[in-house]
Amino acid sequence: MKYMTAAEKTTLAHFLDLASAYCKGGFRSDGQDFQFSDDVQQDAAGNAAADSLEHIAGDIRACEDCQLCTTRKNAVPGEGAHKPLVMVIGEGPGADEDATGRPFVGRAGQLLDKMLAAIGLSRESNCFIANVIKCRPPGNRDPQPAETAACAKYLKRQIAILEPSYILSAGRVSAQTLLSTGEAIGKLRGKFINYPAADKVIPLIATYHPSALLRNEDLKRPAWEDLKLLRTALEEAGLGDKLR
């Protein structure tokens, strides 16, 4: 049985609406504002099936809930370990990420990999890397509120499945979105802040985005201090043996 996302249902409903209008001689009243929700996937016994990263990725790639679906080449769900120590959450895809469908693969991504490796973390073994929004904003502009709102459900589902021990928020937009604040990144970084997940609180540390470090080398030292705080917290939590 095919389970449909809200976006797929909306597309089908608009098509049927147009077809109905055509059969009636072309007359069409004002378009309806359809309000659908994703189907709940069920197993063979009729019970709600567990969500999965693969299911979320499929929903993201099919999503048409905001205008970014019209300009993207590829949606970028995220990648990494399925039981990560740390979930790294950035702002959104850039040109390289839009082209490949993978997060943090351009110059900033290469720097991020080096930053993580310096404290024993890697997307191959103990990190999952994602973004607040899953499609590239034109010209790499800041995401608009409607765009972050449209993607919020996917990020929440990812966090619920991954259950990371810590969250590393990369950049101003990520930190402000996750923490629902307008406070500057300079005031948010350098400390742990509790992020309320579905059924628990996850310690979050914010730092500067790697692209900011490429533009301003003066930010490298405070970013390194943030990473050292994260490394210390992982070790004090008894997770040091899981670092590379």
pLDDT tens for each residue of 3-55 = 555 556 666 666 677 766 666 666 555 555 555 555 555 444 444 468 999 99
- Structural domain includes residue 10: no
- Domain of residue 115 covers 74-242
62 falls within a domain: no
Average pLDDT value for the chain? 89
> At 95, which CATH number?
3.40.470.10
Answer yes or no: is 211 within a domain: yes
Average pLDDT over residues 147-163: 96
CB of 103 closer than 8 Å to CB of 97: yes
Q: Which runs of consecutive H residues, i.e. helices, occur in the chain?
A: 6-23, 53-62, 95-100, 107-117, 145-162, 172-179, 185-188, 210-215, 220-236
The mean per-residue pLDDT over the stretch 163-173 comes to 97
Give the integer Cα–Cα distance in Å for 11 and 17.
Answer: 10
State the pLDDT at residue 244. 83
Using DSSP bridges, classify how beta strands 201-207 and 192-196 pair: parallel, antiparallel or unpaired.
antiparallel
Number of separate domains in the chain: 1
Rounded CA-CA distance 226/190 in Å is 5
Q: Which residues contact 44 (CB under 8 A, 6 or more apart)?
A: none
Q: Which pair of tokens denotes residue 223? A: 């970013």
Residue 171, phi-psi category: left (phi > 0), alpha (psi -120 to 50), beta (remainder): left
54 belongs to a structural domain: no
Residue 58, domain member (yes or no):
no
- pLDDT for the residue numbered 221: 97
Judge whether 98 lies within some domain.
yes
